């Protein structure tokens, strides 16, 4: 091949190379153009999404001026005070409940929609597959059917309240800005129905009830250790601290000769369950000559808070206090003549049975619509009286659960009508008449009226069976009639002007009472401390009751600290001897500035981990069980670190329900450590006092109520977290009730006009 041919071929190869390179460049350029276009599109979508969400964050609801609402019969005045609490004045109950629905829909719409979806088991429609398991669990109760039956069985006055409230919520959806969470999740709420309010109230009942999961968990213990071992593992109370509803110590049985016989069983994991403190004193025991009542429910710590403060007035109706967002009326608070508080009774609520022979016709199909996923179908077994649940998470092994609201053979047992009737009750005796018909989750009701009398009564549906929530009954027991304990047979204290009432989820009855009522009550340590503080004085006032709600002394932790302190000296190391001195000097208070409180809490958790429960630990300590020495030595070794102050170590964040998603900006403040699981000022991770109220009965502007965050559920609002500083400081602000007090506190006025 000559040189020319070689050069020509090289030129051809170069041309081919440039041709390929040019083609590659063209392809690359095309891809680059598409990538840029895609990137620009993604960026544009992101900008649009952020702008859309930000608009919801910045949007301010209408809280002043006037809004036309044709369904009203007359103008309604809504005055907002300096804490943003709405005070509603209407010419009829219909218009008052419409306005309540409007203000709650304005301030708490996303929270209401989440509660509704939780109750009905439809969270996965907007939150996707991660919520499907929770939805599947919630559908066992068949809340949709229960709410429909309650709506059909509601009386005229209740139906009016529910329908008017729903109309008010829908008016807020129509005229107010869409809350930011809807924008973040890219969906709109469907209209509110009266049945949705009933579903919300059922969600509260489910949260308070002793659940079927707890019953099945206890059944596992019962199978392993029997009746005697069960009471060792999970006793009804701690006899050293046991007090009745009148604050008097219960007769104590002789202390056990040794520790519990079942120390080899695994530790019973402590998980907070809904509880509360409530106490009252009759007029003969107060400085003002009026009855006093204090109440602080213990529930999940979240933002928005679980309560919405409110004052509602119409002819024949005037109530103020805390409402559950999504349901009409005031749940806990007072009217013009009566104050009431409540604590969870911890009584049995659900009876479990072995299923026996299952009938094919009783299977029902449920469909779950899952966002970003396919629809899912699940089969649920339901009879006229029971619903089936998996035993120990095994879908092949079932238990049948009997729960009063589910029972299709009995009239609906809605709780909402009872609380609406309490809003109208005239005195303690009238309230007791109202409570005699209450069929919701059993509650301890503490009552006080303007006559100066106080009273107590447990009310609600408590199944009268042998199990009391401790074990699964046989399939043969399904044929037995479903009885509940009559109201007149439940624990009570008669109305009295010189009475004292104490309730803190403890065993409220003396040892002579004929019924067990529960598998187990909460430890009596808070009740004991309340009684201790009441017995420390002969006269009380609002300030003293408010200070009691902030008390951080744990009698049980103090006993633990003093019981193990001498063991520190036996170890001989200087650091242990110093620690022992600190424990002996500690006053039992889980105060923010205390380092010893942090140490005691850590020691307790260490020692509890090797025992079935805190009860078992204290029993072994009292019996001077030598087998506990090794655990104590190890716990002291772990405690040699320099512990921070309790304000830091015990601090708890206040998180929004969407916190697991990347929406941390919705979260609330972090509360400093102040109290623990066993103090009156209860506070632990994710759980705390949800409001604090003290009512000076009849002088309503002298008492007050506080909540941890703010009235508004809108993160962009100035009232989203504005009440947190007062909460942390322990200040109790009045809830204006008289017209003069409301006028003095008013900052905005909104008139809803026909």
pLDDT tens digit string along 466-513? 999 999 999 999 988 889 999 999 999 999 999 999 999 999 998 889
Same domain, 605 and 540: no
pLDDT at 48: 60
Verify that 294 and 421 share a domain, yes or no.
yes
- Does the structure show a pLDDT above 50 at 28? no
pLDDT-based confidence at 50, cuts 50/70/90?
A: low
Would 251 be classed as within a structural domain? no
422 and 517 housed in the same domain:
yes
**Pair (569, 424) in one structural domain:** no
Cis amide prior to 360 (ω within 30 degrees): no
DSSP assignment of 650-698: T-EE-B-TTTTTT-GGG--PEEPP---TTSSS-EETTEEES-EEEEETT
On whether the CB atoms of residues 498 and 289 are closer than 8 A, the answer is: no
Q: Which of 10, 37, 58 is the last residue of a domain?
A: 58
Confidence class of residue 268 from pLDDT cuts 50, 70 and 90? Answer: low
> What pLDDT score was predicted for residue 251?
65
> pLDDT tens for residues 421-463?
999 999 999 999 999 999 999 999 999 999 999 999 999 999 9
Contact partners, residue 712, CB within 8 Å, separation at least 6? 84, 107, 304, 718, 719, 720
Identify the burial level of 84 via C-beta atoms within 10 angstroms of its C-beta, where 0-12 means exposed, 13-18 middle and 19 or more buried.
buried
Residue 34 has a pLDDT of 47
Q: What confidence score (pLDDT) does residue 265 get? A: 59
Report which of 468, 487, 527, 443 is spatially closest to residue 350, judged by C-alpha positions. 468
Boundary residue ending a domain (58, 83, 99): 58
The reply to whether 575 and 507 lie within a common domain is no
pLDDT at 144 exceeding the cut of 60: yes
The reply to whether 356 falls in a domain is no
In a domain, 111, yes or no: no
pLDDT band at 29 (very low <50, low <70, confident <90, very high): low
Residue 570's pLDDT band, with cuts at 50, 70 and 90, is confident
Q: What is the pLDDT of residues 307-341, one digit of tens each?
A: 999 999 999 999 999 999 999 999 999 999 999 99
Residues 6+ apart with CB under 8 A from 104: 112, 168, 169, 172, 308, 323, 325, 326
Q: Are residues 542 and 560 in the same domain?
A: no
Report, as an integer, the average pLDDT of 658-679: 88
Cβ neighbours for 665, distance < 8 A, ≥ 6 positions apart: 715
Q: Which residue has the higher pLDDT, 615 or 169?
A: 169
The verdict on 342 and 437 lying in the same domain is: yes
Same domain, 340 and 458: yes
User: Residue 589: is its pLDDT beyond 50?
Assistant: yes
- Mean pLDDT over residues 272-292, rounded? 92
pLDDT, tens only, 10-23: 444 443 433 443 44
The model's confidence at residue 52, banded by pLDDT at 50, 70 and 90, is low
Residues 439 and 525 placed together within one structural domain of the fold: yes
Overall average pLDDT of the 349-364 stretch: 95
At residue 13, the pLDDT reads: 45
- Could you identify the residue written with the tokens 């009016």? 160
Residue 541: Cβ within 10 Å count: 18
CATH number for the domain spanning 300: value is 3.60.20.10
Q: Which of 6-10, 203-207, 228-232, 261-265 has the lowest mean pLDDT?
A: 6-10
**Residue 518 confidence (pLDDT) above 90:** yes
Please report which helix (H) or strand (E) contains residue 585, including its range.
helix 574-585
Q: Across the chain, what does the average pLDDT equal?
A: 89
Tell me whether residue 419 is in a domain.
Answer: yes
Strand partners, 391: 394
The closest of 367, 375, 370 to 124, measured between CA atoms, is 370
User: Region 397-410: what's the mean pLDDT?
Assistant: 94
By percentage, how much of the chain surpasses pLDDT 70?
Answer: 88
Question: What's the gap between Cα 645 and its chain centre?
Answer: 28
Residue 492 lies in a domain: yes
* 580 confidence band (pLDDT: 50, 70, 90): confident
Q: Looking at the domain assignment, is residue 164 inside a domain?
A: no
Q: Are 580 and 538 contained in the same domain?
A: no
Residue with tokens 């035993």: 391
Domain count, the chain: 3
Region of poorest pLDDT, from 204-213, 489-498, 740-749: 204-213
Domain contains 662: no
Decide if 704 contacts 295 (C-beta within 8 A): no
Q: How far apart are CA 722 and CA 447, in angstroms?
A: 31
The answer to whether residue 148 is domain-embedded is no
Share of the chain above pLDDT 90, in %: 74
pLDDT on residue 414: 83
Same domain, 537 and 579: no
**Any idea which residue has 């759980």 for tokens?**
687
In this prediction, residue 640 carries a pLDDT of: 74
CATH of the domain at 577: 1.10.1400.10
pLDDT at 731 over 70: yes
| Per-residue pLDDT at 186 | 92
* Domain final position from 597, 619, 649: 649
In this predicted structure, the answer to whether residue 5 has a pLDDT above a threshold of 50 is no
Domain that holds residue 489: 275-348+414-546
Is pLDDT above 80 for 49? no
Q: What is the 3-state secondary structure (H, E, C) of 396-460?
A: EEEEEEEEHHHCCCCCCCCCHHHHHHHHHCCCHHHHHHHHCCCCCECEEEEEEECCCCEEEEEEC
Q: Range with the lowest mean pLDDT among 184-198, 295-309, 588-602, 625-639?
A: 625-639
- Residue 498: predicted pLDDT: 97
Report the pLDDT averaged over residues 554-572.
88
Own/partner contacts of 489-492, CB < 8 Å, gap of 24 or more, are 489/514, 489/515, 490/457, 490/458, 490/459, 490/462, 491/245, 491/456, 491/457, 491/458, 491/517, 492/455, 492/456, 492/457, 492/458
Report, as an integer, the average pLDDT of 378-385. Answer: 96
Instruction: Say whether both 539 and 575 belong to one domain.
Output: no
């Amino acid at each position: 091949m000559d040189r020319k041919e070689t050069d020509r071929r090289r030129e051809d190869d170069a041309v081919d190379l440039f041709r390929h390179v040019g083609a590659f460049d063209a392809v690359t350029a095309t891809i680059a153009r598409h990538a840029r276009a895609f990137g620009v599109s993604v960026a544009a979508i992101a900008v649009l999404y952020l702008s859309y969400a930000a608009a919801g964050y910045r949007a301010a609801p209408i809280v002043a001026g006037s809004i036309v609402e044709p369904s009203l019969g007359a103008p309604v005045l809504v005055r907002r005070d300096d804490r943003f609490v709405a005070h509603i004045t209407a010419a009829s109950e219909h218009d008052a409940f419409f306005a309540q629905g409007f203000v709650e829909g304005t301030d708490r719409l996303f929270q209401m929609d989440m509660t509704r979806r939780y109750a009905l088991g439809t969270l996965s429609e907007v939150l996707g597959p991660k919520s499907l398991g929770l939805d599947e669990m919630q559908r066992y109760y068949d809340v949709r059917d229960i709410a429909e039956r309650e709506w059909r069985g509601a009386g005229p006055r209740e139906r009016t309240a529910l329908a008017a409230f729903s109309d008010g919520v829908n008016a807020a959806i129509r005229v107010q800005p869409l809350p930011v969470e809807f924008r973040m999740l890219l969906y709109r709420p469907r209209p509110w129905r009266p049945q949705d309010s009933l579903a919300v109230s059922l969600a509260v009942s489910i949260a308070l009830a002793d659940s079927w999961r707890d019953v099945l968990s206890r059944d596992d213990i019962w199978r392993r250790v029997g009746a005697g071992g069960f009471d060792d593992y999970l006793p009804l109370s701690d006899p050293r601290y046991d007090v009745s509803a009148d604050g008097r110590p219960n007769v104590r049985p002789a202390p056990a000769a040794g520790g519990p016989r079942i120390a080899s069983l695994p530790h019973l994991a402590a998980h907070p369950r809904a509880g509360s403190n409530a106490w009252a004193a009759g007029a003969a025991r107060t400085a003002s000559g009026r009855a006093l009542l204090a109440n602080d429910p213990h529930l999940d710590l979240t933002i928005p808070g679980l309560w919405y403060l409110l004052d509602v007035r119409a002819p024949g109706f005037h109530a103020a206090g805390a409402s559950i967002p999504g349901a009409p009326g005031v749940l806990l608070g007072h009217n013009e003549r009566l104050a009431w508080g409540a604590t969870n009774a911890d009584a049995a609520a659900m009876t479990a049975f072995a299923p026996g022979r299952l009938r094919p016709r009783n299977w029902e199909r449920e469909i779950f619509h899952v966002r970003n996923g396919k629809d899912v179908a699940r089969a649920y077994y339901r009879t006229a009286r029971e619903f089936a649940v998996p035993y120990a998470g095994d879908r092949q092994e079932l238990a049948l659960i009997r729960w009063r609201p589910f029972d299709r053979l009995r009239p609906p047992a809605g709780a909402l009508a009872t609380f609406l009737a309490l809003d109208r009750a005239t005195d303690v005796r009238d309230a007791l008449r109202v409570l005699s018909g209450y069929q919701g989750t059993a509650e301890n009701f503490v009552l006080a009226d303007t006559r100066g009398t106080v009273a107590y009564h447990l009310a609600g549906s408590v199944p009268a069976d042998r199990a009391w929530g401790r074990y699964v009954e046989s399939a043969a027991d399904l044929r037995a009639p479903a009885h509940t304990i009559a109201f007149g047979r439940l624990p009570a204290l008669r109305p009295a002007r010189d009475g004292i009432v104490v309730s803190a989820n403890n065993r409220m009855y003396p040892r002579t009472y004929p019924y067990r009522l529960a598998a187990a009550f909460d430890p009596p340590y808070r009740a004991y401390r309340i009684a201790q503080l009441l017995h420390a004085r002969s006269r009380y006032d609002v300030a003293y009751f408010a200070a009691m709600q902030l008390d951080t002394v744990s009698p049980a932790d103090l006993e633990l600290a003093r019981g193990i302190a001498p063991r520190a000296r036996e170890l001989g190391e200087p650091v242990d001897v110093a620690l022992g001195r600190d424990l002996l000097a500690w006053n039992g208070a889980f105060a923010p500035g205390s380092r010893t409180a942090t140490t005691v809490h850590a020691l307790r958790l260490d020692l509890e981990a090797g025992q079935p429960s805190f009860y078992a630990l204290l029993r072994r300590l009292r019996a001077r069980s030598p087998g506990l020495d090794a655990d104590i030595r190890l716990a002291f070794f772990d405690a040699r670190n320099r512990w921070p102050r309790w304000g830091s170590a015990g601090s708890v964040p206040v998180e929004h329900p969407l916190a697991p998603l990347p929406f941390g900006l919705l979260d609330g403040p972090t509360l400093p450590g102040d109290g623990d699981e066993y103090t009156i000022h209860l506070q632990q991770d994710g759980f705390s006092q949800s409001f604090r109220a003290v009512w000076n009965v009849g002088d309503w502007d002298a008492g007050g109520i506080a909540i941890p965050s703010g009235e508004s559920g809108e993160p962009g609002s100035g009232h989203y977290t504005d009440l947190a500083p007062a909460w942390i400081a322990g200040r109790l602000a009045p809830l204006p009730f008289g017209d003069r007090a409301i006028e003095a506190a008013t900052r905005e006025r909104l008139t809803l006009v026909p």
